[in-house]
Amino acid sequence: MTKIRVVCDSASDLPQSELDRLQITMVSLSIRFGEEEFVDRVTLSTEEFWRRCAQSRTLPETSAPSPGAFRTAYEEAVADGCSGVIVIVLSSALSGTYQSALVAAESMAQLLDVRVVDSQAVSMAQGLLAIDVAERSLEGASLDELEQHALALRSRLGVVAMLDTLDHLIKGGRVGGAKALIGQVLSIKPLLELHDGLVAEAGRQRTTSRAMASISATAKSHAPLRRLALIHAQSDQVAALRALVADISVEFPMLIADMGPTVGTHGGPGLIGLTWLEARGNEHH
């Protein structure tokens, strides 16, 4: 049987347990606080990231992995006797990661067949896509089959999340000061979703509990689901959201994932949401 390696980037927020279980290689994005540069989840843990954010007046910057970082992952696959690699990267509309993975793939073309798939997603929506592809890979699917499968799954991914604070959007210059001030006074909770590979606002709720009910209802409107993951950044609402989706129709047990720096930089602490992969043929649109 030919061995195929699945590679993902750290924007996927995949838990280490899933990386280990499915033998997925993680390539990290970089995070810079002022003059200090860190490697996501390697030289900077998620906990340390949030601690630094709280102390910093400006937002950290994230940058795509270099082609060299991807090339290292591909070379490891060759050394392990793999005949092919499929790379699931975060949305090319959000990052240069896709480009880096492609450049590295072209540099390895003589040695290894590498397919780079733009997930058009981020965080655990991208992560669930990688999980589904990796499970199919372990079942013995060919590289062509895996690539087609990944591309077909993209339209079945969804994300909805609540921002708990507007601080990070203000620091990042993504919300005008006055609008942000009004939001804080009224404690408005903006909801975000993925739209064509970009993060877009999906309405607002006046309270956390209403926002959570809205998140749960949105996910349920896409059921039956194949996979479901709860994502959060140091949120105290995990148990509450779990309870709201306890009765959702989903094939695999729900995963819970810590949101890392890539999305967390823009979302801020307290962010919580759901990502899902719809069951096959669930054409409700």
**Enclosing H/E stretch for 100:** helix 97-107
Look at residue 227 in the predicted model and tell me its pLDDT. 99
**Average predicted confidence (pLDDT) for the chain:** 92
Q: Looking at the structure, do residues 17 and 123 belong to the same domain, yes or no?
A: yes
For 55, counting Cβ atoms within 10 Å of its Cβ (0-12 exposed, 13-18 middle, 19+ buried), the class is exposed
Q: Looking at the structure, do residues 127 and 186 belong to the same domain, yes or no?
A: no
Look at residue 183 in the predicted model and tell me its pLDDT. 62
Domain boundary among 134, 154, 174: 154
Q: Looking at the structure, do residues 136 and 215 belong to the same domain, yes or no?
A: no
Instruction: Supply the range of the domain harboring residue 270.
Output: 156-278
Q: Does any domain span residue 283?
A: no
> What Å distances lie between residue 104 and 111, 142, 163, 189, 226, CA to CA?
12, 21, 35, 40, 32
- Which tens digit of pLDDT belongs to each residue from 4-61? 999 999 999 999 999 999 999 999 999 999 999 999 999 999 999 999 988 888 889 9
What's the CATH number where 242 sits?
A: 3.30.1180.10
Asked if 255 and 228 count as a contact pair (C-beta separation under 8 A), the reply is: yes
Domain boundary among 119, 154, 189: 154
Q: Looking at the structure, do residues 51 and 68 belong to the same domain, yes or no?
A: yes
Look at residue 237 in the predicted model and tell me its pLDDT. 97
> What Å distances lie between residue 204 and 83, 191, 212, 213, 267, CA to CA?
48, 6, 11, 12, 15
- Average pLDDT of 177-204? 77
Between 205 and 172, the more confident residue is 205
Say yes or no to pLDDT of 284 above 50: no
**What DSSP designation does 44 have?**
B
Q: Looking at the structure, do residues 91 and 41 belong to the same domain, yes or no?
A: yes
Asked if 205 and 188 count as a contact pair (C-beta separation under 8 A), the reply is: yes
Look at residue 182 in the predicted model and tell me its pLDDT. 61
Q: Looking at the structure, do residues 106 and 135 belong to the same domain, yes or no?
A: yes
Say yes or no to pLDDT of 208 above 90: yes
Instruction: Classify the C-alpha dihedral 222-226-120-238 as positive or negative.
Output: positive
Predicted TM-score (pTM) of the model is: 0.93
Q: Does any domain span residue 118?
A: yes
Between 141 and 2, the more confident residue is 141
Domain boundary among 126, 154, 182: 154
- Which tens digit of pLDDT belongs to each residue from 58-104? 889 999 999 999 999 999 999 999 999 999 999 999 999 999 999 99
What's the CATH number where 15 sits?
A: 3.40.50.10170
- Which tens digit of pLDDT belongs to each residue from 93-144? 999 999 999 999 999 999 999 999 999 999 999 999 999 999 999 999 999 9
